[in-house]
Chains A and B, each alone.
Chain A
Amino acid sequence: MIPKGAFLKVVDNSGAKLAQVIGSYGHIGQFAGIGNVVKVAIKEAKGDKVPAGTMKKAVIVETKYPTHRKNGSHFQYMRNSCVLLSDKGTPVGNRIRSLLSYEFFKPRWKRLSVLGKRMF
């Protein structure tokens, strides 16, 4: 349940640390959830690959608000985080510090899912 203006922790090794949601892509509505692509502004960054102040696309990978699966189960994480994407939709970093959920098993996120170790 990530609204516009929310701060997300960046969990890949692109260099960025904190990103703020400034918009969404597609018909998401008021809140974005796991698997939604959002437009973010990088607030804190380490290094030069993605400097602070730039705008990028990102996909939300963890939310504190419970995500509902069609089999009836719910799961939640400890924080809200995202992974930065390029304009085309491919991940910027090459390692992800997060346990991805099966929402990223879809072929759309093939590039992203191989960066993690296993899926929950």
Chain B
Amino acid sequence: MRLEKCWFCSSTIYPGHGIAFVRNDATVFRFCRSKCHKNFKMKRNPRKVRWTKAYRKLAGKELAEDATFELERRRNRPEKYDREVVTKTVKAMQRIEQIRVRRQERFYEKRMQNAKAQQKAADKAQLEKEIHLIKAPAGIRKEKEKLRVAAEERMQE
């Protein structure tokens, strides 16, 4: 049993799911669900459709090139069955999955590093501009009065 990748969104296609389309030039396109199949029929380019992995990797939103992807590359030479090789491969798959997840999380954190500071600055600006949406004008006037009095006292000293 082979788990294929959807041509459009790059998600895994599990057995019993999706449709395979064979074009007249003998290229096979596999789709995980009708959403991807319909987008393909609409002739949309997955590299421009924002929710696909192809777009995200191209736009630098996700880890694109990494050593952890090497294990998943398709090999066309069948290996002779060896039980030790199989157990080692299974263990390696699990370990590599852990490493890959960790690397992807770190990539995301790095990408979002400045997001928190930016968000805070934006919030502060909004607060100063649109305080009238939260506080009543009388309350704002009173606060301004208080600040003015405090500033005058400081100037007198």
Residues of A within 8 A of B (CB): 62, 66, 71-79, 98-99, 101, 120
**Residue in contact with A75 in the complex, picked from B1, B15, B20, CB distance below 8 Å:** B20
Q: What total of chain B residues lie within 8 Å of the partner, measured CB to CB?
A: 13
Contact A75–B26 (Cβ < 8 Å): no
CB-CB contacts of B11-38 with A at 8 A, as 1s and 0s? 0000111111111101010000000000
Contact B26–A99 (Cβ < 8 Å): yes
- When distances are taken between beta carbons in the complex, the residues of chain A under 8 Å from B1 are 71
Residues of B within 8 A of A (CB): 1, 15-24, 26, 28
Q: Is the interface of B mostly helix, strand, loop or mixed?
A: loop
Contact A78–B15 (Cβ < 8 Å): no
- When distances are taken between beta carbons in the complex, the residues of chain B under 8 Å from A79 are 24
Q: Is the interface of A mostly helix, strand, loop or mixed?
A: loop
**Residue in contact with A73 in the complex, picked from B16, B22, B24, CB distance below 8 Å:** B16
Give CA–CA (A74, B114) in the complex, Å: 47
Contact B22–A76 (Cβ < 8 Å): yes
Contact B19–A120 (Cβ < 8 Å): no
- When distances are taken between beta carbons in the complex, the residues of chain B under 8 Å from A72 are 15-17
Give CA–CA (A120, B23) in the complex, Å: 12
**Residue in contact with B24 in the complex, picked from A74, A75, A78, A101, CB distance below 8 Å:** A78
Give CA–CA (A113, B92) in the complex, Å: 39
- When distances are taken between beta carbons in the complex, the residues of chain B under 8 Å from A98 are 26
Closest Cβ neighbor of A81 among chain B residues: B24
Contact B19–A74 (Cβ < 8 Å): yes
Task: Please list the 5 inter-chain residue pairs (A to B) with the smallest Cβ-Cβ separation, ordered nearest first.
Answer: A72-B16, A75-B20, A99-B26, A77-B22, A74-B19
Contact A78–B16 (Cβ < 8 Å): no
